């Protein structure tokens, strides 16, 4: 049995993809929808809880980028930096939900202001870490991210999502 | 801060979809790959831990089918039965992973025999529960599932995945 006995300040779900496409700006009367698009790599769904702070960001960045959560063509487990793979970050407040009766409640989620700030810091620290790895940069891999608070209209094409959960 | 202080016997990640397609038989020299395909509804990623037993199945079935994890066209939160939506069940052993240094370890996962048995029971109890809801049946909604132990080659098209985590 898995035992979990600690406070959680952030929850991350990770899925591998061959291709993913996320709406970053919905269509309006003047313009079409805008999309962020990645090829082979990792989709990072991210949610911060109340009591979270910027101290947790380096731990999350380190784990998602350096833990061997990806697979090469020959089945070897490597990190997304080693792959080297694209990265798509998706803010996902629903991940903070807790069921009560038939309802989902989101009382533990960080409020919007804190959530937005931590989300922005997470993206910028990921970018920094990635840019310090010449092999990732020279492969032409990309980091994309969704817009906080938007509906995350997403298309995902996988060769096995290898869904992982990490909590911090 | 979200506090979690109990033992976990099963972990479920849920995503809403407009369309999803899962490989249920890989191609071989005699035949092409076989796919299970659903339209609007819910994808259920499922993992059992050591110490899990069939007693937990009714709780999981009740939660995933009856909690309001889906959204109607007008934004009302409803259960997948009320939607009524299709359901795709995906065995996902990676959900039991725990990071240790740069590796993911799966020591807490149920062994293969137990996992297969619980997975089969989960499918059959979902089917039973769904068939007791005339509105779901009459809408022509479908329940599909992946093959335990296979690579879960998956395509997903969402209008917002609304990724949720439930633990039992």
Q: Is the dihedral of CA B134, B119, B105, A139 positive or negative?
A: negative
* Residue B102 with chain A: CB contacts under 8 Å: 66-68, 79
Distance from CA of B122 to the nearest CA of A (A): 18
Question: What does the alpha-carbon distance between residue A19 and residue A38 come to, in Å, rounded to a whole number?
Answer: 6
- The angle at the Cα of A106, spanning A100 to B157, to the nearest 5 degrees, equals 100
Name the percent of chain A lying above pLDDT 70. 96
Q: Quick one: pLDDT at residue A7?
A: 85
- B104-138 pLDDT tens trace: 999 999 999 999 999 999 999 999 999 999 999 99
What's the confidence (pLDDT) of residue B7?
85
State both tokens at B15.
């995503």
Q: CA B128, CA B143: separation in Å to the nearest integer?
A: 11
Mutation for testing the B interface, residue in A94, A106, A114 having most B CBs under 10 Å? A94
- Kindly report the average pLDDT of chain A as a whole number: 96
Express each pLDDT in A94-120 by its tens digit: 999 999 999 999 999 999 999 999 999
Considering only residues 72 to 111 of chain B, which have any Cβ-Cβ distance to chain A shorter than 8 Å?
77, 79, 90, 92, 94-99, 102-104, 108
Considering chain B, what is the average pLDDT of its residues?
Answer: 96
Facing A155 at nearest CB: one of B104, B157, B166: B157
Q: What percent of chain B has pLDDT over 90?
A: 95
Neighbours of B55 (CB within 10 A): 9
Cβ within 8 Å, pair A1-B49: yes
DSSP summary character for residue B72: -
Q: What is the pLDDT of residue B147?
A: 96
What does the pLDDT read at residue B6?
63
Whether chain A has a CB inside 8 Å of the CB on B39: the answer is: no
Average pLDDT of span A8-22? 98
End-to-end CA distance of chain B: 20
Instruction: Answer yes or no: is pLDDT of B79 > 80.
Output: yes
For A23-53, what is each residue's pLDDT tens digit? 999 999 999 999 999 999 999 999 999 999 9
Residue B87 and residue B142: Cα distance in Å, rounded?
A: 6
Give the pLDDT confidence score for residue A53 in this predicted structure: 97
Residues of chain B neighbouring A16 (CB-CB closer than 8 A): none
The residue of chain B nearest to residue A146, with distances taken between CA atoms, is B160
Residue contact A9–B3, C-beta within 8 A: no
Q: What pLDDT digit, counting tens, does each position of B1-39 carry?
A: 565 556 899 999 999 999 999 999 999 999 999 999 999
Q: E-strand spans in chain B?
A: 2-8, 10-17, 19-25, 34-38, 41-48, 70-71, 77-78, 86-91, 98-100, 103-105, 143-145, 154-157, 164-167
Pure H helices in B13-111: 57-66
According to the model, what pLDDT value does residue A4 have?
53
How many CB atoms sit inside 10 A of residue A67's CB? 22
Q: What pLDDT does residue A151 have? A: 94
CA atoms within 13 A on the CB side of B63: 22
The tokens 């050591």 sit on which residue? B50
Distance in Å, alpha carbon of B102 to nearest chain A alpha carbon:
4
The tens digit of pLDDT for each residue in A123-167 reads 999 999 999 999 999 999 999 999 999 999 999 999 999 999 999
Mean pLDDT along residues A42-65:
98
In order of start, what are the domains of chain B with their CATH numbers? 10-167 (3.50.80.10)
Q: Please tell me the distance from the alpha carbon of residue A106 to that of residue A96, in angstroms, as a whole number.
A: 6
Of the candidates A79, A94, A99, the beta carbon closest to that of B163 is on A94
Q: pLDDT value at position B31?
A: 96
Nearest CA in chain B to A156: B156
Residue A3 confidence (pLDDT) above 60: no
* CB contact (8 A) between residue B164 and residue A104: yes
């Amino acid at each position: 049995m898995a035992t979990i006995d600690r406070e959680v300040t952030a929850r991350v779900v990770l899925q591998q993809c061959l291709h993913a496409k996320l709406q970053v700006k919905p269509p309006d009367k003047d313009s079409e929808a805008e999309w962020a698009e990645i090829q082979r790599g990792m989709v990072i769904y991210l949610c911060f809880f109340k009591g979270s702070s910027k101290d947790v960001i380096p731990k999350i960045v380190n784990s998602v980028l350096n833990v061997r959560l990806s697979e090469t063509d020959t089945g070897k487990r490597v990190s997304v930096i080693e792959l080297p793979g694209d990265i798509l970050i998706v803010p996902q407040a629903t991940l903070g939900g807790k069921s009560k009766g038939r309802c989902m409640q989101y009382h533990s989620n960080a409020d919007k202001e804190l959530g937005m700030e931590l989300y922005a810091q997470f993206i910028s620290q990921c970018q920094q870490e990635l840019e310090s790895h010449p092999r990732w940069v020279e492969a032409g891999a990309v980091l994309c991210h969704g817009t906080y608070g938007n509906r995350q209209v997403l298309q995902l094409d996988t060769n096995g999502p290898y869904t992982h959960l990490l909590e911090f």
